[in-house]
């Protein structure tokens, strides 16, 4: 993990709450607009309205999308298909469009020096918003480490989650304040390798789905009915995930590697010969576990290393 700049601030402390209220009173951001009315925008925009921000307008490719979100935000919010109209009536504009559309949409708007323009992509740096800086405005990023699967606004999904923020001052500070107002926890992304940062988020969120898929295939190969896999394995997945959130990783780990149970791991690898791809996945993930500070007896550790880490091992 990159170190140094990424300090998480806890919005729930009285000091952070006080700083938010003082900041809100003195804030220079008068009006917030959205270009993009999808899943992220729905929850973020309603969260901002609930935190006391004034959302002026929402643009989307299809007027119906903009209308649906504007209606959820309040009677004064203007729906439009014109991104330039959002810029006209807002000083802070979120480009909450898909990653591939951020730069083209940004280049299509006549920005001015008064604009702060923010994207919500974890993978893209601020260079995606070069058109804003060229026009004398300030570019920024606000990236919630959360998944928003639906267009129904769910601002509660933001509460307690960490949000990366980036931007030259005063925008960086304004975004941190905004995150606090949303009930989330800001940390700075300045200087962070965004591809690796985003790969970390993808690994923990998307790859859990890949693990569930692999476990389902193993389940079926074992002879059990496929349709029972999700119901039977989900409680295990949820318990493991809760443990990861509550304790050190080495303490959260249970199972044969944590116990130094070499014979069980050998048995798994032998049985996994039925599907070499699943066996390699099992081996790679188990080898990652050996990086944890586990209390294993030296003989068991060295045998597990031979089994799991030696890519040139004899089959
Ligand atoms: N969803 C998440 O879980 C999540 C989490 C963290 C960060 N993010 C980030 O949030 C951003 C938006 O993602 P999303 O999941 O909310 O996307 P989404 O649900 O697909 O919504 C995208 C919105 O942008 C509009 N749009 C697409 N192309 C456009 C264009 N060329 N001009 C104007 N509007 C356009 C769409 O319009 P129509 O509806 O009219 O077609 C839609 O309203 C991305 O940068 C993503 O990385 C998303």
What is the band of 22 on the pLDDT scale with cuts at 50, 70, 90?
low
Q: Which stretches of the chain are DSSP H helices?
A: 14-26, 39-50, 63-73, 83-89, 99-107, 130-134, 171-181, 194-221, 229-246, 249-252, 256-259, 262-271, 276-289, 298-309
Residue 172 Cα to ligand 1 midpoint, Å, equals 22
CATH superfamily placement of domain 14-192: NAD(P)-binding Rossmann-like Domain (3.40.50.720)
Please compute the mean of the pLDDT values over residues 148-158 and round it to a whole number: 95
Using the Cα atoms of residue 187, residue 192, residue 196 and residue 199 in order, give the sign of their dihedral.
Answer: positive
Please compute the mean of the pLDDT values over residues 238-266 and round it to a whole number: 96
* pLDDT at residue 4 is higher than 50: no
Q: What is the pTM of this model?
A: 0.86
What is each CA distance from 119 to 40, 85, 185, in whole angstroms?
11, 18, 18
What per-residue confidence (pLDDT) applies to 306?
A: 96
Pocket of ligand 1 (CB under 6 A): 35-41, 60-62, 65, 96-99, 101, 105, 119-121, 143-144, 147-148
- Is the fold of 14-192 the same as that of 196-309? no
Residue 207 Cα to ligand 1 midpoint, Å, equals 22
**Measured in whole angstroms, how far is the alpha carbon of residue 60 from the centre of its chain?**
23
Residue 312 Cα to ligand 1 midpoint, Å, equals 45
- Asked if 123 and 195 touch (Cβ cutoff 8 Å), the reply is yes
What per-residue confidence (pLDDT) applies to 2?
A: 35
- Kindly give the interhelix angle for 276-289 and 194-221, rounded to the nearest 10 degrees: 130
What is the band of 1 on the pLDDT scale with cuts at 50, 70, 90?
very low
Residue 98 Cα to ligand 1 midpoint, Å, equals 4
- Asked if 122 and 164 touch (Cβ cutoff 8 Å), the reply is yes
* pLDDT at residue 168 is higher than 80: yes
Closest residue to atom 31 of ligand 1, CA basis: 101
Number of the ligand 1 atom closest to the C-alpha atom of 64 = 40
Q: Which residues contact 118 (CB under 8 A, 6 or more apart)?
A: 92, 93, 94, 95, 139, 140, 141, 142, 167, 171, 175
What per-residue confidence (pLDDT) applies to 21?
A: 63
Q: Which of 33, 35, 36, 146 to mutate to test the pocket of ligand 1 (most atoms within 8 A of CB)?
A: 36
What is the band of 10 on the pLDDT scale with cuts at 50, 70, 90?
low
- Asked if 59 and 35 touch (Cβ cutoff 8 Å), the reply is yes
What is each CA distance from 141 to 82, 204, 251, in whole angstroms?
22, 21, 35
- Asked if 52 and 36 touch (Cβ cutoff 8 Å), the reply is no
Q: Which residues pair with 118 in a beta bridge?
A: 94, 140
Please compute the mean of the pLDDT values over residues 141-147 and round it to a whole number: 97
- Kindly give the interhelix angle for 39-50 and 63-73, rounded to the nearest 10 degrees: 20
What is the band of 5 on the pLDDT scale with cuts at 50, 70, 90?
very low
* pLDDT tens digits, one per residue of 34-56: 999 999 999 999 999 999 999 99
Residue 75 Cα to ligand 1 midpoint, Å, equals 23
Residue 42 Cα to ligand 1 midpoint, Å, equals 10
The ranges assigned to domains in the chain are: 14-192, 196-309
Residue 155 Cα to ligand 1 midpoint, Å, equals 16
Number of the ligand 1 atom closest to the C-alpha atom of 63 = 40
* pLDDT at residue 160 is higher than 80: yes
Q: In this prediction, what percent of the chain has a pLDDT beyond 90?
A: 88
- Asked if 24 and 11 touch (Cβ cutoff 8 Å), the reply is no
Q: Which of 97, 153, 194 to mutate to test the pocket of ligand 1 (most atoms within 8 A of CB)?
A: 97
What is the band of 3 on the pLDDT scale with cuts at 50, 70, 90?
very low
* pLDDT tens digits, one per residue of 53-108: 999 999 999 999 999 999 999 999 999 999 999 999 999 999 999 999 999 999 99
* pLDDT tens digits, one per residue of 255-313: 999 999 999 999 999 999 999 999 999 999 999 999 999 999 999 999 999 999 965 45
Please compute the mean of the pLDDT values over residues 151-171 and round it to a whole number: 96
What per-residue confidence (pLDDT) applies to 29?
A: 56
Between 1.10.1040, 2.60.120, 1.10.10, 2.40.160, what CATH number should domain 196-309 receive?
1.10.1040
Closest residue to atom 13 of ligand 1, CA basis: 98
Name the average pLDDT for the chain.
92
């Amino acid at each position: 993990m990159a170190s140094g700049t990424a300090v998480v601030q806890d919005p729930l402390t009285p000091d952070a709450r006080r700083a938010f209220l003082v900041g809100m009173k003195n804030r220079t951001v008068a009006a917030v607009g959205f270009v993009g009315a999808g899943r992220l925008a729905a929850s973020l925009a309603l969260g901002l309205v609930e935190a006391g921000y004034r959302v002026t307008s929402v643009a989307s490719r299809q007027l119906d999308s903009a209308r649906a979100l504007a209606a959820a935000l309040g009677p004064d919010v203007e729906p439009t298909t014109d991104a330039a109209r959002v810029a006209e009536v807002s000083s802070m504009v979120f480009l909450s469009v898909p990653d591939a559309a951020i730069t083209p949409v940004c280049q299509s708007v006549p920005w001015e020096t008064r604009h702060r323009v923010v994207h919500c992509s974890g993978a893209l740096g601020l260079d995606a918003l070069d058109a804003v800086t060229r026009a004398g405005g300030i570019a920024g990023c606000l990236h919630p480490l959360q998944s928003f699967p639906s267009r129904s606004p769910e601002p509660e999904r933001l509460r307690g989650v960490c949000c990366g923020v980036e931007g030259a001052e005063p925008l960086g500070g304004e975004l941190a304040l905004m995150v606090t107002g949303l009930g989330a926890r800001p940390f700075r992304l300045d200087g962070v390798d965004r591809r690796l940062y985003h790969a970390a988020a993808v690994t923990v969120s998307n790859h859990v789905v890949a693990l569930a898929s692999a476990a389902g295939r193993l389940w079926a190969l074992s002879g059990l009915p496929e349709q029972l896999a999700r119901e039977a394995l989900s409680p295990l997945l949820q318990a493991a995930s809760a443990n990861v959130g509550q304790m050190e990783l080495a303490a959260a780990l249970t199972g044969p590697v944590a116990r130094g149970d070499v014979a069980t791991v050998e048995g798994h690898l032998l049985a996994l010969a039925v599907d070499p791809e699943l066996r390699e996945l099992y081996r790679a993930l188990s080898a990652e576990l050996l990086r944890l500070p586990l209390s294993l007896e030296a003989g068991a550790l060295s045998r597990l290393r031979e089994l799991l880490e030696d890519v040139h091992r004899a089959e």
